[in-house]
Amino acid sequence: MRSLLFAGGGRKVHSEFALLCCECSLCSLYSCPEGLNPREVCVSAKSDLREMKVNFRNSALNTGAAPVPHPVRDERKVPVSKLVKRLGLAEYNADAPYLEHGYKPARVRIQLSQHIGVPCSPKVAVGQKVAKGEAVGDLPADKLGCPVHASIAGKISRINDRYIEIEA
């Protein structure tokens, strides 16, 4: 924020320290005493640096040495209770009672692509009965991904390239 002040608003300021910003908004929501939005400045600077093909690996911040935490890191942590109060959320911070209700869906659709990897292939057929927790979709051993499982016991009613439908 200070580098922006001294450089003037019309010029692009490319502080490489913006590369260290994780965009959590703590600086904007809690730390800035002026009520400014440093997060947006860092996001903008990171975008400008990206256009200039500057990243952490080729920046002056990368000394090649293993990173060492600041000696007073533990004392700089923000107490969650203070953050909740400053954000005006304290009145919502109440214990909610746990309500046990026996919701039993009549039908579920198990998506075959629930992850970054390869979509699963159905391992079951229409009309087949399955138990809760049983694998209903799998993939070849040489592919990256995870099998999918039945969330309820029931009968397979529909299979397509996107999901497997199970009726209780």
Q: Examine residue 97 and state whether it is found in any structural domain, yes or no.
A: no
| The pLDDT value given to residue 99 | 87
Shared-domain flag, residues 157 and 114: yes
Q: Examine residue 71 and state whether it is found in any structural domain, yes or no.
A: no
| The pLDDT value given to residue 120 | 95
- Please state, in angstroms and rounded to a whole number, the distance separating the CA atoms of residues 29 and 138: 45
Domain count, the chain: 2
Shared-domain flag, residues 14 and 85: yes
| The pLDDT value given to residue 128 | 98
| The pLDDT value given to residue 43 | 92
Shared-domain flag, residues 120 and 158: yes
CA distances (Å), origin 73, targets 42, 45, 78: 21, 25, 10
| The pLDDT value given to residue 62 | 87
Shared-domain flag, residues 86 and 112: no
Ranges of the chain whose pLDDT falls below 70: 1-14
Q: Examine residue 102 and state whether it is found in any structural domain, yes or no.
A: no
- Please state, in angstroms and rounded to a whole number, the distance separating the CA atoms of residues 8 and 4: 6
pTM above 0.95, yes or no: no
Shared-domain flag, residues 127 and 82: no
| The pLDDT value given to residue 112 | 96
Q: Examine residue 95 and state whether it is found in any structural domain, yes or no.
A: no
Dihedral of the CA atoms 147, 152, 158, 162 (nearest 10)?
A: -40
| The pLDDT value given to residue 100 | 87
Q: Examine residue 119 and state whether it is found in any structural domain, yes or no.
A: yes
**In this structure, are residues 51 and 45 in contact, taking their beta carbons and an 8 Å threshold?**
no
Q: Examine residue 99 and state whether it is found in any structural domain, yes or no.
A: no
Shared-domain flag, residues 86 and 111: no
- Please state, in angstroms and rounded to a whole number, the distance separating the CA atoms of residues 37 and 19: 16
Q: Examine residue 135 and state whether it is found in any structural domain, yes or no.
A: yes
Shared-domain flag, residues 56 and 85: yes
Shared-domain flag, residues 84 and 133: no
Provide the residue range defining the domain that includes 54: 2-63+78-90
| The pLDDT value given to residue 113 | 93
| The pLDDT value given to residue 153 | 97
| The pLDDT value given to residue 60 | 86
Q: Examine residue 113 and state whether it is found in any structural domain, yes or no.
A: yes
